[in-house]
């Protein structure tokens, strides 16, 4: 009970000490935080202006460049200098100022942001690298890789600088800003996949972007997604889905009154008909002729909207579509009429050797050998160029597939490494738990042994104290009997001893059978602290005889009578 009270007291003392230390630590933390808050240096105004420029430069590139030229870069942090290079590159890009400075600016931004913890500007840097490679005629594989990395980065982005959100017009929420960039990347990735022949992946990304733009009512970007999505459906020969895409695009263009967009989607519908004819996706000749007639009708609707506009980028495509449709219908005069117009137009949306093929066969059908020979030469050159282009595309596609395989292997290796690290961590955790349990068990056992020893010591002390007290009482009683006037004092003393310690005499006889009765009685009297004279009086012997008995007892017992009694 006493040890339990001590243990409780110890725990209370530890708790009180920990409580004091906690409050002292809390006080120090508050003092340090207040001290730090007093010495936090506000960002320089150049940083604030840099975020303002980033928000308004798309509408005012000239003013943005003037402000950037006047900013003091020496007060900017390393991150904000990289940010400055990125914004300046965007402004020059918008102004079509592609010079050596653009490369150096983008290099600074790439060195800082790519691989950094700022995932928003890492994403923007990767997108800028993709655009610059696209402008410089880089491989489609490189552009696609940058856009894939940008998607991975924006997926990890959880924070955008508050100033960028506040200075946007109108102000925008953090998640809204991240989503805006994310689905723009979906759109770009869909286009990249479509251009490299991966149309299923293209549809996946374009549909995600289109759904987002439909929810946010961004009709302009929604329409941008419609065409590549329709072309991917067309490449996969999903004609119904393709037709729905192009019709929806035409419907939206008509609602918003955009003549160029209407013309564009009339051209798309014409291409849809042409592809079905070329792929022989029709059930009979009547349906084929119907597709060609619709191709002519859609192309003429587009040309009617353009009128006499020569500058339109879609006009030559519509005229070429008419030339092809009439060629397939064997109306060679009309084919030559529209084909000649397309040939004489500026080189926009050139159909390669197809236009030369239609004109060659049309002139030959009408027996105009001179014109037929002219376009035959053009056709041969175009076919050679087309073969070279196909080889280039095949090389790019093969390179992309190899890169995708390498990426897949690397991803699998990384997953295996993560699993290995996880198993190691689990094993270490289990090992640590086992060690903690063993230590706690050993500590509990040691505490249990300690408590048992303490209890045994306490019990032994109590027993020793009781034995000592009992012996004192017996000695007092024996002395009282000796001092009384009663008869048979020795017998009464021995009876009292035997009553208090019933096994003592038997133990003495068993351990020392060579002792005589007188020697045993003398040993017991000696244990009761009688003097030699008193022992002689009780035994009826002289003192010298008692001393001789005592000497013999020491030799026989090798110890005092108390040890014999204790045994």
Evaluate whether 326 touches 334 at the Cβ level (below 8 Å). yes
Residue 260 pLDDT level (bands cut at 50, 70, 90): confident
For all residues of the chain together, what is the average pLDDT?
83
What pLDDT does residue 8 have?
Answer: 52
Is 547:490 a contact under the CB 8 Å cutoff? Answer: no
* Packing angle of the helix pair 369-483, 140-156 (nearest 10 deg): 30
Residue tagged 């991240």 (tokens):
178
Q: DSSP for 77-96, please give it.
A: -HHHHHHHHHHHHHHHHHTT
What pLDDT does 23 receive? 60
Report the interhelical angle of 119-135 vs 140-156 (nearest 10°). Answer: 170
Tokens standing for residue 266: 């009339």
Confidence of residue 359 (pLDDT cuts 50, 70, 90): confident
pLDDT in tens, 193-224: 988 888 999 999 999 998 999 898 888 888 88
In the structure encoding, which two tokens stand for residue 87, read together? 């914004």
Q: Which range among 10-19, 44-53, 255-264, 511-520 shows the weakest confidence by mean pLDDT?
A: 10-19
Query: 3-state class of 502 per DSSP?
Result: coil
Q: What are phi and psi of 403, to 5 degrees?
A: -65, -40
pTM: 0.59
Q: What is the DSSP string of 25-90?
A: HHHHHHHHHHHHHHTPPPPPHHHHHHHHHHHHTTT-HHHHHHHHHH--GGGS-HHHHHHHHHHHHH
pLDDT, average across residues 334-356: 75
Q: Which of 158, 76, 82, 176 is nearest to 117 (CA)?
A: 158
d(CA 33, CA 182): 37
Q: What is the mean pLDDT of residues 546-566?
A: 67
Mean pLDDT on 415-423: 90
| Dist. CA 330–CA 390, nearest whole Å | 29
DSSP code for 279? T
Nearest to 275 by CA among 246, 239, 248, 227: 239
Token output for 82: 């990289």
Q: CB-based contacts of 232: which residues, under 8 Å, 6+ apart? A: 190, 194, 199, 200, 202, 203, 206
Query: What is the residue whose two structure tokens read 């068993």?
Result: 510
154 or 7: which leads in pLDDT: 154
- Round to whole Å and give the CA distance between 493 and 482: 8
% of the chain residues with pLDDT over 70: 87
Q: Residue written as tokens 């070279």?
A: 388
Q: Is the pLDDT of residue 567 over 50?
A: no
Nearest alpha carbon to residue 418 among 406, 408, 410: 410
Q: Taking a C-beta distance cutoff of 8 angstroms, is the pair 399, 139 a contact?
A: yes
Instruction: Give one DSSP letter per residue of 104-122, joined into a string.
Output: HHHHHHHHHHTTSS-HHHH
CA atoms within 13 A on the CB side of 432: 6
**423 pLDDT more than 90:** yes
Interval 326-342 mean pLDDT: 89
pLDDT at 515: 83
Where helices occur in 484-531 by DSSP H, the ranges are: 489-500, 504-511, 517-527
What's the CA gap between 357 and 16, in Å, rounded?
97
> What is the rounded CA–CA span in Å between residue 193 and residue 201?
6
d(CA 343, CA 250) in angstroms, rounded, equals 27
Using CA atoms, how far apart are residues 56 and 164, in angstroms rounded to an integer? 11
For residue 40, pLDDT beyond 50: no
Residue pair 84/68 in contact (Cβ under 8 Å)? The answer is yes
Range with the lowest mean pLDDT among 88-97, 172-181, 244-253, 503-512?
503-512
The 3-state DSSP class for residue 288 equals helix
Q: Are 217 and 254 in contact (CB under 8 A)?
A: no
Categorize the per-residue pLDDT at 4 as very low, low, confident or very high, splitting at 50, 70 and 90: low
- Best CA proximity match to 185, nearest among 159, 212, 163, 219: 212
Binned at pLDDT 50, 70 and 90, residue 22 comes out as low
CA distance 203 to 189: 10
What is the structure's pLDDT at 254?
85
pLDDT at 25: 62
Q: What pLDDT score was predicted for residue 203?
A: 93
Cα–Cα distance, 426 to 420 (Å, whole number): 10
pLDDT in tens, 440-468: 888 888 888 988 888 888 888 888 888 88
Looking at the chain, how many residues does it have? 567
The whole-number average pLDDT for the span 422-442 is 91
Report the C-alpha gap between 495 and 489 in whole angstroms: 10
Q: How far apart are CA 376 and CA 83, in angstroms?
A: 56
Considering only the C-alpha atoms of the chain, give the largest distance between any 2 of them, rounded to a whole number of Å.
173
371-382 pLDDT tens trace = 888 888 888 888
Query: Are 281 and 237 spatial neighbours (Cβ–Cβ below 8 Å)?
Result: yes
Q: Are 274 and 295 in contact (CB under 8 A)?
A: yes
For range 114-133, the mean pLDDT: 92
pLDDT digits (tens, 9 = 90+) for 75-123: 999 999 999 999 999 999 888 888 888 899 999 999 999 999 999 999 9
């Amino acid at each position: 009970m006493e040890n339990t009270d001590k243990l409780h007291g110890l725990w209370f003392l530890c708790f009180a000490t920990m409580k004091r230390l906690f409050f002292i630590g809390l006080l120090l933390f508050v003092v340090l935080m207040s001290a730090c808050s007093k010495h936090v240096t506000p960002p320089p105004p150049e940083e604030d202006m840099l975020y303002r420029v980033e928000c308004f430069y798309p509408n005012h590139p000239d003013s943005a460049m003037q402000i950037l030229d006047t900013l003091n870069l020496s007060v900017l942090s390393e991150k904000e200098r990289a940010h400055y290079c990125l914004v300046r590159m965007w402004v020059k890009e918008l102004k079509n100022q592609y010079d050596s400075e653009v490369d150096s600016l983008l290099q600074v931004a790439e060195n800082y942001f790519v691989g950094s913890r700022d995932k928003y500007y890492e994403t923007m840097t990767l997108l800028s690298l993709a655009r610059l490679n696209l402008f410089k005629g880089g491989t489609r594989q490189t552009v696609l890789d940058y856009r894939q990395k940008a998607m991975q980065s924006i997926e990890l982005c959880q924070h955008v600088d508050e100033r960028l959100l506040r200075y946007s017009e109108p102000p925008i929420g953090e998640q809204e800003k991240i989503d805006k960039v994310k689905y723009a990347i979906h759109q770009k990735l869909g286009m990249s996949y479509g251009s490299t022949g991966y149309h299923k992946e293209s549809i996946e990304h374009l549909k995600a972007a289109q759904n987002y733009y439909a929810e946010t009512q961004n009709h302009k970007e929604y329409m941008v997604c419609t065409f590549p999505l329709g072309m991917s459906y067309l490449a996969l020969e999903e004609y119904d889905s393709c037709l729905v895409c192009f019709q929806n695009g035409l419907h939206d263009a008509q609602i918003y009154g955009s003549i160029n967009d209407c013309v564009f989607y009339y051209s798309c519908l014409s291409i849809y008909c042409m592809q079905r004819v070329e792929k022989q996706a029709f059930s009979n000749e009547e349906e084929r002729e119907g597709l060609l007639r619709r191709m002519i009708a859609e192309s003429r609707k587009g040309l009617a909207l353009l009128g006499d506009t020569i500058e339109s980028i879609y006009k030559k495509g519509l005229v070429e579509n008419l030339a092809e449709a009439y060629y397939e219908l064997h109306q060679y005069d009309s084919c030559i009429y529209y084909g000649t117009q397309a040939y004489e137009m500026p080189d926009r949306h050139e159909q390669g050797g197809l236009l030369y093929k239609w004109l060659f066969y049309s002139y030959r059908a009408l027996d105009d050998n001179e014109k037929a020979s002219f376009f035959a030469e053009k056709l041969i050159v175009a076919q050679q160029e087309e073969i070279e282009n196909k080889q280039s595309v095949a090389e790019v596609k093969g390179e992309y597939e190899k890169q995708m395989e390498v990426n897949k292997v690397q991803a699998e290796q990384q997953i295996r490494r993560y699993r290995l690290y996880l198993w190691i961590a689990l094993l270490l955790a289990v090992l640590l738990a086992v060690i903690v349990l063993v230590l706690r068990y050993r500590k509990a056992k040691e505490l249990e042994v300690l408590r048992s020893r303490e209890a045994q010591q306490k019990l032994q002390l109590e027993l020793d104290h009781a034995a000592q007290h009992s012996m004192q009482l017996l000695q007092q009683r024996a002395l009282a009997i000796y001092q009384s006037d009663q008869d048979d004092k020795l017998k009464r003393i021995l009876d009292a001893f035997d009553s208090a310690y019933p096994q003592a005499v038997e133990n003495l006889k068993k351990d020392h059978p060579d002792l005589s009765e007188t020697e045993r009685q003398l040993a017991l009297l000696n244990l009761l602290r009688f003097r030699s004279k008193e022992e002689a009086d009780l035994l009826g012997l002289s003192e010298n005889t008692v001393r001789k008995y005592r000497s013999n007892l020491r030799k026989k017992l090798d110890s005092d009578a108390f040890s014999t009694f204790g045994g």
